[in-house]
């Protein structure tokens, strides 16, 4: 790294009239002063723009979005306008400790293998008071990828710092991915670089409740997005083309994956160990796509003696809520089978009446 690198803070700001001043002031208080803020208002309907314009520091670069695009549109635009060697992603209702920039410059300068830095979070309420902490897990890079593959996201995106060349790996953002956007960021980054986890609370995160405009809450829309985005998210792991890296993430023995082209098969079968229903469904769908290439079957049979019976065994895994399916079948019986049998009964009664009537006239 160059000495005294420029830090670019990317901020998509929307309806944070009450908090954006607190956020900007936390930047102005930094002990490390070589930074720029690229802040873009995403068509706010409150006084957000007015509050931002109160600040005249030459390091603050303010823009307004022509239409409400969300983070998937606004943040890439902010990146294109930035010049820093270090990128920090922050929301305009959060804040950072006054020595945070100095700390990330220190880490990046000392550890060339580290491409991304995460901080534990101190939760703040709507009056900027401390309201608890969120701690980062005690895991290394491989442990983090293993957790995110089998279980779920365990890292925090507020305030994370990334070397510019690695930030480019995240682009372009998919506009439609909302619930799993940062989850996918972490996977992409950790597949390509090591990380540093700061256990001190350098980032102040304003926890969102029912009053917030945040999309992170698990309401009906959030629940739907969480499940519908899972397959797209998990496809990120298919970018792995290093067999040894795949073995480490999956906890397999060395040289168990003898051909990197077989990585999707091992990802698909190993994910069946997950407690997450959507992840298991992704696994079987990945397996179907894997066998779309007949050569893969030949290779798998050669290395692992894979046969048709093995596929049948894999298909027995629980991929759906069977209780729910049984309930649906009961409903079908009521609305489809029952009327059918009623019609049969009516036909039999009609025929019996005709027969009895003919016998009577004889």
pLDDT digit string, tens, across residues 218-257: 578 888 999 999 999 999 999 999 999 999 999 999 999 9
pLDDT digit string, tens, across residues 182-193: 999 999 999 999
Residues 6+ apart with CB under 8 A from 117: 104, 107, 108, 160, 161, 162, 195, 196, 198
Q: How would residue 320 be classed by pLDDT, with cut points 50, 70 and 90?
A: confident
| Mean pLDDT (whole number) for 151-162 | 97
Q: In the predicted model, what is the mean pLDDT of the chain?
A: 90
Query: Rounded CA gap, 183 and 116, in Å?
Result: 14
- pLDDT for 275: 93
HEC assignment per residue over 112-136: CCEEEEEEEEEEECCCCCEEEEECC
Give the residue from 14, 141, 136, 4 showing the smallest Cα distance to 69: 14
Q: What percent of the chain has pLDDT over 70?
A: 86
- pLDDT for 213: 45
Q: How would residue 146 be classed by pLDDT, with cut points 50, 70 and 90?
A: very high
Residues 6+ apart with CB under 8 A from 324: none
- Whole-model pTM? 0.86
pLDDT digit string, tens, across residues 252-273: 999 999 999 999 999 999 999 9
Residue 147 has pLDDT above 90, yes or no: yes
Query: Rounded CA gap, 123 and 133, in Å?
Result: 5
Query: Rounded CA gap, 163 and 156, in Å?
Result: 17
| Mean pLDDT (whole number) for 46-66 | 97
Residue in the block written with tokens 């298909």: 315
- pLDDT for 341: 56
pLDDT digit string, tens, across residues 277-304: 999 999 999 999 999 999 999 999 999 9
């Amino acid at each position: 790294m160059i000495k005294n690198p420029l830090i670019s803070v990317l901020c998509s700001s929307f309806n944070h009239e009450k908090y954006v001043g607190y956020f900007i002031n936390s930047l102005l208080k930094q002990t490390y002063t070589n930074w720029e803020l690229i802040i873009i208002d995403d068509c706010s309907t409150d006084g957000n723009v007015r509050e931002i314009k109160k600040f005249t520091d030459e390091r603050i670069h303010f823009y307004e979005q022509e239409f409400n695009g969300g983070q998937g549109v606004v943040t890439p635009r902010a990146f294109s306008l930035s010049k820093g060697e270090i990128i920090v992603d922050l929301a305009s209702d959060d804040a950072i400790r006054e020595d945070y920039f100095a700390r990330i410059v220190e880490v990046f300068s000392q550890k060339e293998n580290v491409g991304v830095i995460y901080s534990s979070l101190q939760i703040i309420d709507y009056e900027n008071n401390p309201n608890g902490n969120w701690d980062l897990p005690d895991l290394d890079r491989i442990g983090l990828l293993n957790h995110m593959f089998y279980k779920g996201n365990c890292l925090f995106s507020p305030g994370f710092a990334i070397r510019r060349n690695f930030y480019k790996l995240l682009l372009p953002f998919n506009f439609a991915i909302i619930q799993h956007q940062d989850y996918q960021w972490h996977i992409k980054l950790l597949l390509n670089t090591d990380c540093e986890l700061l256990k001190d609370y350098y980032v102040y995160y304003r926890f969102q409740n029912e009053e917030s405009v945040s999309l992170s809450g698990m309401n009906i829309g959030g629940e739907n997005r969480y499940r519908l985005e899972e397959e797209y998210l998990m496809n990120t792991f298919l970018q792995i083309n290093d067999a040894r890296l795949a073995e480490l993430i999956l906890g397999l023995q060395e040289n168990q994956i003898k051909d990197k082209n077989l990585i999707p098969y091992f990802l698909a079968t190993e994910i069946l160990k997950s407690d997450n229903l959507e992840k298991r469904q992704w696994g079987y769908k990945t397996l179907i796509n894997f066998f779309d290439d007949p050569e893969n079957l030949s290779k798998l049979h050669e290395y692992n003696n894979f046969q048709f019976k093995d596929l049948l065994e894999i298909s027995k895994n629980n991929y759906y809520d069977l209780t729910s399916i049984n309930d649906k079948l009961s409903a079908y019986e009521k609305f489809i089978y029952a009327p059918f049998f009623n019609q049969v009964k009516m036909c039999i009664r009609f025929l019996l009446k005709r027969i009895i009537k003919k016998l009577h006239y004889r």
